[in-house]
A and B are shown apart, each in its own frame.
Chain A
Amino acid sequence: MTPVRCRRLLAVLALGCAAALAACGEAGPPPGDAAAPAASRLETIQARGHLVCAGRNDTPGYGFVDDTGRISGFDVDLCRAVAAAVFGDPDKLELRHVNATEMGVTMQSGEVDMMARAITRTTSREAQWGNFVITMLYDGQGFLVPASLGVASARELSGAAVCVASGTTTELNLADFFRQSGMAYNPVVFEDSSVLLDAYKEGQCDVYTHDRTQLYVLRQQLDDPNAHVILPETISEEPLTPIVPHGDEQWFDVVKTVMAGLIYAEAYGVHSGNVDAMAAGDNVKVKRLLGAEGSFGQETLGLADTFMRGVITSVGNYGEIFDRNLGAQGFGLPRAGRNDLWTNGGQLYAPPLR
């Protein structure tokens, strides 16, 4: 008698709970959806008050912690330029260090506004990770070896131990190259570039493979740079390009325009020291760049007409950024060649500012 009633009661309770569960299940998702028809990324950034840029903090020349406790470098300056364009202040910037293996997930989850980390533009990354903007550094993978080994060509590297950073295209290119050439090799794979350099320096591996510009910078860091040579072969194409997440065309255009602006500023001879003078000058293209006359789409992008003035005053033009971090004042990386402006026979070229 009573047990029956008890069971009935339990059944009622269970039903009630199931209903509650169903209600929960229905009530669960909405918050995300409700917030979804959200502001554009540019508005989100402006509301947040700073730009979130993924990069590195451990790679001299590109992004590293200097003595004063600031992160500086070529990639960092690109981020700073974008922050200056959005806020007029290059320091409204949150730099997030991402390891090579985190690059994909970081871009896909959209947690950062952009990434500048000497990242190679490839088709599959373009499809999966985000939109690549304008290539800011043309590079290719090479080999660094101690001169004492007497190696003159990458074809002679059979049986060598090769130091390579994990989680990068470098690692894949290396495997391709050795398989293609029918040579054996021992990969020495590290996630961390500081450990890699140590391993190379102490001779745990015979060869260090990386993008050639980075090899150049690394070579400058070694005790005697002249005791190491970069082999002539370039085994891959590495257009190093900043990337923004998929899904916001306007933001993609903003970053693209800032990068183009940096390149054209150099082409027009505008640098951090002469912005005001140039804006007052009579070159129409320069006046358009600096927002003194005409427009190249600032309004549509949601930026101030004169945003490039702030960018160039605080960060400088492309040439200044290159020289400061990698070139003459940095690690002495020669500019001549592909990374020169198109006007000097290089490959650096961007959509015209119109």
Chain B
Amino acid sequence: MSAAAPAQAMPPPPPPPAMTVGLVGWLRANLFSSRVNSALTVVLGAVLLWALVSLVGWLLFAADWAVVTTRTPLYLVGLYPAAEYWRPQAALLLVCLLLGVTWGRWGRAARGFALGLGVVLLVVGLLPHGMQPLNRALLLLNTAALGLGYLLTARLTLGRLPVFRRVAAALHARAARLYLRRPNRLPPAAWLTVQASRLLNAGAVGLGYLLTAWLALERRPWVRRAAAMQNALAARLALGRPKRLAALAIVSVIAALLLIRGIEGVPGLTPVNTQDIGGLLLNLLLALFGIVMSMPLGIALALGRRSNLPVVKMVCVGFIELVRGVPLITLLFMSRHILPLTFPANIHVDALYLSAITITLFSSAYMAENVRGGMAAVSEGQVEAARALGLRGWQTTLLVTLPQGLRNIIPAIVGQSISLFKDTSLVFIIGMLDLVEMGRVTIQGNQEFLDNGREVYVFIALVFWVFTFSMSFVSRRIERALGVGRR
């Protein structure tokens, strides 16, 4: 080589030693990093393998799942009259639609949840068990509803471009207004608007939307009015802010609850005896009510405890400590048998409502402590800055301390919600047939199932686990979205 030749090109870096990369490297780093670790891995691996093999063997071969499969509806809805099964089904459909909309609107956090629910529904709908084919079909319809909800929102926003969103929304709103103003004659302008909105949407919108467009051309006024309503709704969704979505959520949840409970005097919706609402449905209803209501109550109690008014503070502290100090089952017993004594004799208070309120109060005391902890963690500087900006005491609390405090405790809130959901299984103490109690009753009441306790409890534990695990999953997504721990 001549001297003029550039210095030899750097030799390629030598490959890392085979022991540090690839599968072998991973194994070395994570399982066999030292002698102790290797021994641990081998022993633990053997134990786990044995456990896994015997578990799977039991699940697939030894266990007799007839106790679960032949009585599926009872586990799901308790003693709900069989002729009315369509109502919880329809309620579920509403919830699925809502979840689909949330997924379309909100993306990532809801997607995993929606997809998970879809899979669960598919599995329940397709596995062999003693559910009527009609109910099974309805159950499968829910997966479609999830997709429909997603399509409805996702496509309305047209690729999430604000311009399109706004145009679509404006057109919808205009159409709606025009219909309502002139219900009988369709002016050309309205027709054009309708067509425009239809064109804009029809291609992508899916079944629900085509239906609207068709309805819009109907001549009967009430149909048109309905179409107008739907157009208005679509307009709102297209422009949808979280506030609107929340309103939609509240409306559909209330509709679902009414469907399940029934309305006096409406044919087909005869009220169902609350004692007959049982199984998983009962656990879910109690948990939903408890979670929704214990949050504001807990915040109020926490603010009361932080208050500098001694009386208010004393009352809140007293309530919190009293409730936290006793087991939930004694509170449930009290509320079932002692509390009704304070009502006038003719008022018949339902065990369902009483237990829902008791669970809520119980949970709110814990929630209050969480909120207090979160607010205490907000740094003093924030408060001082707020005061320096001229905010009043309550403004500082509501606008600065509380929001930051709540953000701090998302995991704690979700943890509390999970405990609340698990605690709904304690209503057995006042004779309500929730999922767990239904399992016990099934074993006891049927000679052929006397030996199937393990199957029942494993099944019930799995059902609870699916729900609680999804709750903590969603919480982690929210936490990430809000950037907790990264600021």
Residues in A lying within 8 Å of B, measured CB to CB: 31-32, 34-36, 38-39, 44, 48, 50, 52, 57-60, 64-71, 94-99, 102, 105-106, 109-111, 192-195, 197-198, 201, 220-222
Select the residue from B73, B438, B440, B453 with max chain A CB neighbours within 10 A: B440
**List of 4 A-B pairs having minimum Cβ-Cβ separation, nearest first:** A194-B444, A64-B445, A97-B431, A105-B337
Expressed in whole angstroms, the Cα–Cα distance for A50 and B271 within the complex equals 12
Question: A65–B438 contact, CB under 8 A?
Answer: yes
Question: A194–B337 contact, CB under 8 A?
Answer: no
Question: B70–A67 contact, CB under 8 A?
Answer: yes
Question: B450–A95 contact, CB under 8 A?
Answer: no
B416 at the interface (CB under 8 A from A): no
A to B CB contacts below 8 Å, 18 in the list: A32-B343, A35-B344, A38-B345, A60-B444, A60-B446, A65-B438, A65-B441, A65-B442, A66-B445, A68-B82, A69-B78, A94-B273, A102-B333, A109-B337, A109-B341, A192-B440, A192-B444, A197-B444
B468 at the interface (CB under 8 A from A): no
Chain A proximity mask over B440-468: 1 for CB below 8 Å, otherwise 0: 11111111001001000000000000000
Question: Which of B341, B441, B447, B453 is close to A57, meaning CB atoms less than 8 Å apart?
Answer: B441
Given the interface contacts A97-B431, A99-B429, does A59 sit within 8 Å of B340 by beta carbon?
Answer: no
Expressed in whole angstroms, the Cα–Cα distance for A190 and B440 within the complex equals 14
Residues of chain B lying within 8 A (CB to CB) of residue A221: 447, 450
Expressed in whole angstroms, the Cα–Cα distance for A71 and B442 within the complex equals 11
Closest to A93 in B: B273
B470 at the interface (CB under 8 A from A): no
Residues of chain B lying within 8 A (CB to CB) of residue A198: 450, 453
Q: How far is the CB of A53 from chain B (nearest CB, A)?
A: 11
B430 at the interface (CB under 8 A from A): yes
Question: B444–A95 contact, CB under 8 A?
Answer: no
B275 at the interface (CB under 8 A from A): yes
Question: A96–B431 contact, CB under 8 A?
Answer: yes
B269 at the interface (CB under 8 A from A): no
Expressed in whole angstroms, the Cα–Cα distance for A94 and B431 within the complex equals 13
Q: How far is the CB of A225 from chain B (nearest CB, A)?
A: 10
Residues of chain B lying within 8 A (CB to CB) of residue A111: 337, 340, 348
Expressed in whole angstroms, the Cα–Cα distance for A96 and B431 within the complex equals 7
Q: How far is the CB of A167 from chain B (nearest CB, A)?
A: 12
Residues of chain B lying within 8 A (CB to CB) of residue A57: 431, 433, 441, 445
Given the interface contacts A32-B345, A110-B345, does A102 sit within 8 Å of B337 by beta carbon?
Answer: yes
Given the interface contacts A94-B273, A95-B275, does A59 sit within 8 Å of B444 by beta carbon?
Answer: yes
Residues of chain B lying within 8 A (CB to CB) of residue A71: 79
Expressed in whole angstroms, the Cα–Cα distance for A273 and B177 within the complex equals 66
17 new A-B pairs (CB below 8 Å) besides A65-B79, A102-B430, A105-B337? A35-B345, A48-B348, A57-B433, A64-B445, A67-B70, A67-B71, A67-B446, A69-B71, A94-B275, A95-B275, A97-B431, A105-B338, A109-B340, A192-B440, A194-B441, A197-B450, A221-B450
B346 at the interface (CB under 8 A from A): yes
Question: Which of B73, B337, B344 is close to A31, meaning CB atoms less than 8 Å apart?
Answer: B344
Residues of chain A lying within 8 A (CB to CB) of residue B442: 65
Residues of chain B lying within 8 A (CB to CB) of residue A67: 70-71, 446
Select the residue from A68, A94, A194, A201 with max chain B CB neighbours within 10 A: A194
B351 at the interface (CB under 8 A from A): yes
Closest to B433 in A: A57
B74 at the interface (CB under 8 A from A): yes
Question: Which of A44, A94, A109, A194 is close to B440, meaning CB atoms less than 8 Å apart?
Answer: A194
Given the interface contacts A99-B431, A197-B444, does A69 sit within 8 Å of B450 by beta carbon?
Answer: no
Expressed in whole angstroms, the Cα–Cα distance for A324 and B357 within the complex equals 40
User: Considering the complex, which residues of chain B in the window 59-80 have a beta carbon less than 8 Å from any beta carbon of chain A?
Assistant: 70-71, 73-74, 78-80
Question: B433–A97 contact, CB under 8 A?
Answer: yes
Closest to A57 in B: B441
Residues of chain A lying within 8 A (CB to CB) of residue B74: 65, 69
Residues of chain A lying within 8 A (CB to CB) of residue B82: 68-69
Expressed in whole angstroms, the Cα–Cα distance for A71 and B276 within the complex equals 10
Residues of chain B lying within 8 A (CB to CB) of residue A59: 444-445
